[in-house]
């Protein structure tokens, strides 16, 4: 059984803390979950006094149905990263989908002794109300200190890359290479979707766990989210192979058996990289399809290798109410994928990429690329220089 998957977890800066407090408060008010839980408690209390009263029995059934519906909607509304943040604040029990089963089981297994179910629901409702009061007090306190979150407007989307310091070995020059890679990754995806490499805009930068939040073309963000989702789904199979490999190594087996499993992991990654590359460039109409395909192939492989080492990616999107069109579809896709992303725990022995490959392309050891473009052809020529700064081509692409 694979257990080494984890939700995307963002550092709890003051802005993010405010954001999750605001989310919890708004979601509970929108769904009325606490009110519906207290209605179940009230119905049970009435039933304890008059267990044979058909009206009270009907009221309990109605209250349970309303609570179940609201809790089900709640479960679908919380992204994995938000659930982790809520858990860290001590609210896991109160916003866990299992709350539905907990309340319903209490009622069903204590049909003859409703007082037992009443006491359980009473305890849950009281503790949950106290948690919500803490959430609201905390939100109000942060607002008084003029702290708020960087919310996105309707019709907008962004993506945050959470970069473990181990990836760039806490070296500034390596971190600069990582920023260059992220910019190139999004630009290549953008060019594949739109035909041109549009600028990547930095929205926010956090330092506790280095987090780079950027805004880019919606189609590119949607495709990036889709590719990451595809890889994470494949990773579950990779994890099973890794666990088998680890068990064999623990048993003392060496040589061919372990090598075959390692090769199987490599083959599986190569396949998902190729599938992702084909998906990204499927609708590209420009004249550098082969060159762009190679770039996307290297981008995705490096991205997947970094995910193995602990990189997480968090998407946010806010579709326009009652809107239609391609942008709306992209926003809805990004929002849906964001609720599903669960990332692997950083591998102790990474297999996908070496540290040298993570920190930069071997042909660009110093991380400086010079791109020139001749007048007679649109083909770009890439060289490496240790003295020259990066020059931009006519399309603005590094």
Q: Measuring CA to CA, how many Å separate 66 from each of 61, 130, 205, 353, 355?
A: 9, 22, 42, 50, 53
Tens digit of pLDDT for each residue in 271-306?
A: 999 999 999 999 998 899 999 999 999 999 999 999
Q: How far is residue 397's CA from residue 180's CA, in Å, rounded to a whole number? A: 11
Longest CA–CA span in the chain (Å) reads 91
Q: Are residues 30 and 117 in the same domain?
A: yes
Query: Do 340 and 206 belong together in one domain?
Result: yes
**Is 296 found in the same domain as 234?**
yes
pLDDT digit string (tens) for 111-153?
A: 788 899 999 999 999 999 999 999 999 999 999 988 877 778 8
The answer to whether residue 155 is domain-embedded is no
Question: Could you tell me if residue 1 is inside a domain?
Answer: no
Is 116:107 a contact under the CB 8 Å cutoff?
no
What does the pLDDT read at residue 383? Answer: 40
Apex 128 CA angle, 123 and 134, nearest 5: 135
The reply to whether 14 falls in a domain is: yes
User: Residue 12 has what pLDDT?
Assistant: 63
Q: Are residues 251 and 388 in the same domain?
A: no
Query: Is 221 found in the same domain as 100?
Result: no
Q: Are residues 312 and 386 in the same domain?
A: no
Which region among 107-116, 202-211, 246-255, 388-397 has the lowest average model confidence (pLDDT)? 388-397
pLDDT band at 50 (very low <50, low <70, confident <90, very high): confident
Q: Is residue 64 one of the residues assigned to a domain?
A: yes
Within a 10 A sphere around the Cβ of 71, how many other Cβ atoms? Answer: 23
Range of the domain at 27: 10-144
pLDDT category, 9, cuts 50, 70, 90?
very low
Say what the pLDDT of residue 141 is.
94
Domain shared by 338 and 390, yes or no: no
Q: Are residues 131 and 254 in the same domain?
A: no
Q: Do 100 and 35 reside in the same domain of the chain?
A: yes
5: left (phi over 0), alpha (psi -120 to 50) or beta: beta
Q: What is the pLDDT of residues 39-49, one digit of tens each?
A: 999 999 999 98
Burial (CB < 10 A; 0-12, 13-18, 19+), residue 75, is: middle
d(CA 85, CA 12): 8
120, 144, 168 - which closes a domain: 144
Can you give the three-state secondary structure of the chain, one letter per residue? Answer: CCCCEEECCCCCCHHHHHHHHHHHHHHHHHHCHHHHHHHHHHHHHHHHHCCCCHHHHHHHHHHHHHHHHHHHHHHHHCCHHHHHHHHHCCCCCCCCCHHHHHHHHHHHCCCCCHHHHHHHHHHHHHHHHHHHHHHHHHHHHHHHCCCCCCCCCCCEEEEEEECCHHHHCCCHHHHHHHHHHHHHHHHHHHHHHHCCCCCCEEEEEECCCCEEEEECCHHHHHHHHHHHHHHHHHHHHHHHHHHHHHHHHHCCCCCHHHHHHHHHHHHHHHHHHHHHHHHHHCCCCCCCHHHHHHHHHHHHHHHHHHHHCCCEEEEEEECCCCCCCHHHHHHHHHHHHHCCCEEECCCCCCCCCCHHHHHCCHHHCCCCEEEEECCCCCCEEEEECCCCCCCCCCCCCC
% of the chain surpassing 90 pLDDT: 40
Q: What is the pLDDT of residues 168-194, one digit of tens each?
A: 888 899 999 999 999 999 999 999 999
232 and 128, same domain (yes or no): no
Phi, psi of 343 (to 5 degrees): -105, 150
pLDDT for residue 247 is more than 50: yes
CA distance 54 to 56: 5
Q: Are residues 304 and 170 in the same domain?
A: yes
Residue 269 lies in a domain: yes
* Whether residue 133 sits in one domain with residue 215: no
Residue 235 counted as domain residue: yes
Q: Structural domain tally of the chain?
A: 3
Give me the pLDDT at residue 387, please: 40
Q: Does residue 56 form part of some domain?
A: yes
The whole-angstrom separation of Cα 294 and Cα 300 is 10
CB of 13 closer than 8 Å to CB of 206: yes
User: Do residues 241 and 269 touch, judged by C-beta distance below 8 A?
Assistant: no
**Is 154 a domain residue?**
no
């Amino acid at each position: 059984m694979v257990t080494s998957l984890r939700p995307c977890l963002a550092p709890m800066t003051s802005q993010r803390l405010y954001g999750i407090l605001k989310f919890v408060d708004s979601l509970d008010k929108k769904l009325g979950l606490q009110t519906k839980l207290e209605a179940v408690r009230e119905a049970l209390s009435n039933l304890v006094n008059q267990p044979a009263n058909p009206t009270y029995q009907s009221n309990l059934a109605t209250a349970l149905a309303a609570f179940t519906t609201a809790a089900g909607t709640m479960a679908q509304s919380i992204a994995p990263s938000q659930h982790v943040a809520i858990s860290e604040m001590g609210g896991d029990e109160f916003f866990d989908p299992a709350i539905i089963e907990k309340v319903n089981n209490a009622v069903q297994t204590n049909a003859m002794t409703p007082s037992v179910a009443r006491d359980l629901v009473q305890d849950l409702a009281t503790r949950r109300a106290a948690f919500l009061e803490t959430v609201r007090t905390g939100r109000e306190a942060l607002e008084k200190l003029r702290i708020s979150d960087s919310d996105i407007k309707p019709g907008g989307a962004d993506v945050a890359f959470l970069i473990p310091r181990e990836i760039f070995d806490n070296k500034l020059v390596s971190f600069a290479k990582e920023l260059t890679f992220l910019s190139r990754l999004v630009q290549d995806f953008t060019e594949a979707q739109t035909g041109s490499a549009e600028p990547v805009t930095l929205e926010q930068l956090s330092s506790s766990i280095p987090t780079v939040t950027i805004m880019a073309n919606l189609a590119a963000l949607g495709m990036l989210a889709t590719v990451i989702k595809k890889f994470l789904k494949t990773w579950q199979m990779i994890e099973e192979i890794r666990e088998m490999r680890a068990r064999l190594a623990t048993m003392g087996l060496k040589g061919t058996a372990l090598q075959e499993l390692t090769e199987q992991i490599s083959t599986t990654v190569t396949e998902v990289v190729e599938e992702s590359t084909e998906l990204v460039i499927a609708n590209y109409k420009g004249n550098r399809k082969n060159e762009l395909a190679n770039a996307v192939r290297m981008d995705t492989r490096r991205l997947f290798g970094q995910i193995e080492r602990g990189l997480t990616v968090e998407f946010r999107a806010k579709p326009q109410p009652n809107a239609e069109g391609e942008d709306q579809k992209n926003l809805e896709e990004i929002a849906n994928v964001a609720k599903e992303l669960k990332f692997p725990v950083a591998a102790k022995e990474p297999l996908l990429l070496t540290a040298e490959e993570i920190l930069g392309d071997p042909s660009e050891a110093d991380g400086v690329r010079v791109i020139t473009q001749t007048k007679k052809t649109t083909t770009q020529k890439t060289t490496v220089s240790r003295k020259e700064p990066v020059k931009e081509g006519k399309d603005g692409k590094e």
